[in-house]
Amino acid sequence: MTHELKKIVAATQEAKQNGLKTVLVSVVDLDGSSYRKPGVRMLIREDDKMIGAVSGGCVEKEVLRQSQSVFKNGKPKLMVYDGRYRLGCEGILYMIIEPFDAEVSFFESFEKGIIERKPFEVITYFSKNEDDSVRSGSVFVFSDGTHFPVNKEFDQDLAKKDETLSVFKQTMKPCFRLLIIGAEHDAVQLCQYASLTGWEVNVITPPDDPKTIDDFPGADELFSISESEVEHMSIDSQTAVVLMTHGFVKDLKYLSALREKELVYIGLLGPKNRREKLLSQLLEYYPETPDTFFDMLFGPCGINIGAETPQEIAISIMAEILSVVRNQEPIPLKEKKSGIHD
């Protein structure tokens, strides 16, 4: 969800620069089931432009209508949306709509935290009593301890003392990052699809490859570096890597550079015998490679959906990464015994 919040904050900053008011809409509670869960947010500008979504598209018109009073009086409000009779989702959504009037220092701290890949919290104090919803409000809490209310009029200290208010606290992890090592056509397709999903995409190409970041639509950064330089990169547990140089020696060198990194997933292209050969040589050169490293390896990467084209292969790989990150066994949803999001 952090990547969605990035877009919301960027849109808020742009609107502020253009003299436009904005309101933040946060789903803070749910009775039953719904398309989206508590913690999703959207932004509405006073020119009615909406950024993000709190549902599959059915709720937003009503949110837009109810936001008008917040623009008018500058006070937060509770919105309750019963989807049992309109959406078929069997759920009731509780949303707080509040003015987003952050200071310049907030945007600076937010950007700093995103770049440094530091987790942060968003805490919302709210009441399900519509008459009391004017005391509701959200606060961003960054890793350095700084606090920024979404609405400058909101007093967090008073909210903490108010035992009648409920609290929704959400920890926002760094944006999920995909590190693609390779510069061939399939790497370009994977980059595009991953970017559309909201992942941060970094591409690593060998130093002798002439391609630039312009060749990879959606990429955040491109590094033309050797395997020895990859070894010194800062890589965290919110990162997946797919090796796709199409060169055995290059793959082996880059794989060796990753052997002590804390990753969630490493994908290898090619058949099983190629994977076994890679791992055999890796152990021959680095017998002390920790066992946990091999738990992160997936090769051939991707799930079996009959993928043939580069675009389909990208979908297959991304589906496997998601299943690993979410700790899910890929099956048809019609065969799932519990609810879709359980």
Cα 332 to chain centroid distance, Å, stands at: 24
Task: Please compute Rg for the chain using Cα positions.
Answer: 23
Interatomic CA distance for residues 120 and 5, integer angstroms: 12
The first and second tokens of residue 35, run together, are 């398309």
Q: What angle do CA 257, 260, 266 make, to 5 degrees?
A: 70
Q: How far apart are CA 195 and CA 172, in angstroms?
A: 19
CA distance 33 to 90: 6
Calpha distance 193→187 (Å, rounded) = 10
CATH class given for the domain over 177-325: alpha beta
Q: What is the DSSP string of 161-175?
A: H-TTSEEEEEEEPPP
- The answer to whether residues 155 and 280 touch, using CB atoms and an 8 Å cutoff, is no
Quote the CA–CA distance of 190 and 204 in Å, as a whole number.
Answer: 13
CA dist., res. 45 & res. 213, Å (int): 33
**Which are the contacts of 70, defined by CB distance < 8 A and separation ≥ 6?**
23, 76, 77, 97, 98, 99
From first to last of the 342 residues of the chain, give the pLDDT tens digit: 788 999 999 999 999 999 999 999 999 998 866 666 888 999 999 999 999 988 766 788 889 999 999 999 999 999 988 766 655 556 788 999 999 998 889 999 999 999 999 999 999 999 887 776 778 899 999 998 899 999 988 988 888 888 889 999 999 999 999 999 999 999 999 999 999 999 999 999 988 889 999 999 999 999 999 888 998 888 888 999 999 998 999 999 999 999 988 899 999 998 999 999 999 999 999 999 988 899 999 999 999 999 999 999 999 999 999 999 999 988 887 877 766 655
On the CB side of 302, CA atoms within 13 Å amount to: 23
Identify residue 264 by its one-letter amino acid code: V
Question: What is the domain partition of the chain in residue ranges?
Answer: 11-172, 177-325
